[in-house]
Amino acid sequence: MGFLAKKIMTVLVTGGAGFIGSHTCVELLNSGYDVVIIDNLVNSSAKAVDRIEQITGKKVAFYEVDVRNRAALDRIFERHAISCAIHFAGLKAVGESVQMPLEYYDNNLFCTVRLCEAMRDHGCKNIIFSSSATVYTGTDPMPLREDSITGGCTNPYGWTKYMSEQILRDMAKADSDWSVLLLRYFNPIGAHPSGLIGEDPRGIPNNLMPYISQVAIGRLPYLNVFGDDYDTPDGTGIRDYIHVCDLASGHVAAIRYMLEHRGESVFNLGTGQGYSVLDIVKSFERVTGVKIPYKIGARRAGDLPVTYASPDKSAAILGWKAKYDLDDMCRDSWNWQKKNPNGYGDRAQDSQE
Ligand code: NAD
Ligand code: UFG
């Protein structure tokens, strides 16, 4: 043969039917990777998998399986030549984690441990883990750098991220064949520009952008702004919002780095730019032409006044930078919400709302 066939690499994506996972699968498929998804659909819909295939025109292997099911993991590793895993699967609602700590520790920690055991036993030692800005104490000056102080989490969800990071770090220390990337996400919003995939929270949203979108579509009457007496220019909380497609491309950059390096590294995925709650409301109104009524209420317990990332390390080492701006994020969140007023609309809890 006059040419060498390019080897297609297979990426295992746990939680691939979820918000960030589905966007990352699109980015991976568009970058030439094969994708195997494991998701038990506890917070997502199988329709997201169909939509990933619709957007990319490519097939994915999908297993409706709990990541804690070791026997099922073994079968999947035997069937597919998996080169690396991106581990998104986990429960993520902060308030719920305070009510149900055991379920959160069980799900989030044992997913991480079972997955790594299966990976080790099948000789696949490259993992990217979905961590969070929530691991930072937030007491250091902004912007938060990867070496800013972590710990002191205010809820069990945050501790599961902190503890999973530690488990993965210890694993990489004990066996130098592992390549472990801990990615700390800031505040992902937006949706794929097609409007085919997006964020589909259960019940009343906890997070700002899905709440605003549901006010805009008429499912909720007004936004509660959690405090306007912070020491910020307009008194409302400031966060580092990042378009979910930028976050997705950050994972593709991370894979390239991971496959060329061993050991453990940590990277922020944020823009480095902070916006207040009222900045988001104004941008959403300007971009969509829809008025967002709001009422100023009390602060939400556990909220920090201001958090935003230093994206410098990711730019320097991964060669990755966010490219979408706040208006893009608002436009794409609204496009998804408008085209899918009830999200994917096929979960039992959706019909109870
Ligand atoms: P999501 O809930 O949309 O996606 C998580 C997916 O994991 C869901 O599809 C869910 O069904 C699946 N899942 C949960 N437990 C599972 C299990 N035991 N077995 C198999 N599948 C399971 O959430 P997301 O926003 O896409 O977040 C993805 C990851 O990123 C999570 O680990 C989350 O903690 C982390 N993260 C999210 C944010 C955010 O603001 N969205 C910020 C920082 C970190
Ligand atoms: N906010 C409101 N009203 C709402 C919802 C939020 O005013 O109805 C405000 C909050 O007080 C905060 C900002 O909007 O100032 C953003 O709040 P989110 O709940 O959208 O996001 P958080 O920064 O509180 O937390 C989210 C995830 C965490 C994750 C963190 C960083 O919920 O799990 O982003 O990635 F760790």
Q: What is the pLDDT of residues 271-318, one digit of tens each?
A: 999 999 999 999 999 999 999 999 999 999 999 999 999 999 999 999
Give me the pLDDT at residue 6, please. Answer: 60
Does this model's pTM top 0.85? My answer is yes
Ligand nearest to the CA of 307: 2
Q: Reduce the DSSP state of residue 132 to 3 states and report it.
A: strand
**Is 20's C-beta closer than 6 angstroms to any atom of ligand 2?**
no
Q: Determine whether the shortest distance from the Cβ of 187 to ligand 2 is under 6 A.
A: yes
Residue 5 has pLDDT above 70, yes or no: no
What is the signed CA dihedral for 145, 111, 301, 148, rounded to 10 degrees? Answer: -10
Q: How many angstroms does the Cα of residue 345 sit away from the middle of ligand 2?
A: 24
What torsion do the CA atoms of 256, 261, 264, 270 make, to the nearest 10 degrees? Answer: -30
CA distance 319 to 314: 6
| Span 228-262, pLDDT tens digits | 999 999 999 999 999 999 999 999 999 999 999 99
With a cut of 50, say whether residue 1 has pLDDT above it. Answer: no
CA distance 73 to 324: 36
Burial class (CB in 10 A: 0-12, 13-18, 19+), 119: buried
Q: What is the band of 347 on the pLDDT scale with cuts at 50, 70, 90?
A: low
**At 269, phi and psi to the nearest 5?**
-115, 100
d(CA 241, CA 125): 31
Residue 257 near residue 185 (C-beta atoms within 8 A) = no
Answer for the pair 257, 314: CB distance below 8 angstroms, yes or no.
no
Residue 352: predicted pLDDT: 40
Does residue 87 contact residue 14 with C-beta atoms inside 8 Å? yes
User: Pocket of ligand 2, candidates 239, 242, 283, 330: which has the most ligand atoms within 8 Å of its Cβ, to mutate?
Assistant: 239
User: Ligand 1 pocket, 46 CB below 6 A?
Assistant: no
- Indicate which ligand has the atom closest to the C-alpha of 210: 2
Among 300, 304, 308, 326, the mutation site with the greatest number of ligand 2 atoms within 8 A of its Cβ is: 300
Nearest to 90 by CA among 24, 39, 23: 39
- Which among 296, 293, 299, 288 has a CA at the least distance from the CA of 327? 288
Q: Is 343 helix (H, G, I), strand (E, B) or coil?
A: coil
For ligand 2, whether the C-beta of 56 sits within 6 Å is: no
pLDDT of residue 353: 38
**Which residue, judged by its Cα, is nearest atom 36 of ligand 2?**
134
pLDDT at residue 348 tops 80: no
The finding on whether 211 has its CB within 6 A of some atom of ligand 2 is yes
Cβ(43) – ligand 1 distance below 6 Å: yes
Which tokens sit at 61? 């292997």
**Catalytic choice (63, 136, 157, 308):** 157
Q: Is 133 near ligand 2, meaning CB less than 6 Å away?
A: yes
Regarding the beta carbon of 206 and ligand 2, being less than 6 Å apart is answered yes
Over 153-215, what HEC string results? CCCHHHHHHHHHHHHHHHHHHHCCCCEEEEEEECEEECCCCCCCCCCCCCCCCCCHHHHHHHH
Q: Which residues contact 316 (CB under 8 A, 6 or more apart)?
A: none
Identify the nearest ligand to the CA of 40 by its number. 1
**Cα 102 to middle of ligand 2, angstroms:** 23
pLDDT at 8: 82
Let me know if 211 is a catalytic residue. Answer: no
CB-CB contact of 72 with 65 (8 Å): yes
Q: To test the ligand 1 pocket, which listed residue (92, 162, 247, 347) has its Cβ within 8 A of the most ligand atoms? A: 92
From the CB of 39, is ligand 1 less than 6 Å away?
yes
Minimum CA distance residue for ligand 1 atom 8: 18
What is the rounded end-to-end Cα distance, in angstroms, of the chain? 60
Main-chain dihedrals φ then ψ at residue 350, nearest 5 degrees: -65, -40
Alpha helix stretches (DSSP H) within 175-318: 208-216, 244-260, 277-288, 312-313
| Ligand 1 mean position, distance from CA 291 (Å) | 31
User: How would DSSP label each residue in 45-112?
Assistant: -THHHHHHHHHHS---EEE---TT-HHHHHHHHHHS-EEEEEE--S---HHHHHH-HHHHHHHHHHHH
pLDDT by residue (tens digit) across 31-55?
999 999 999 999 999 999 999 999 9
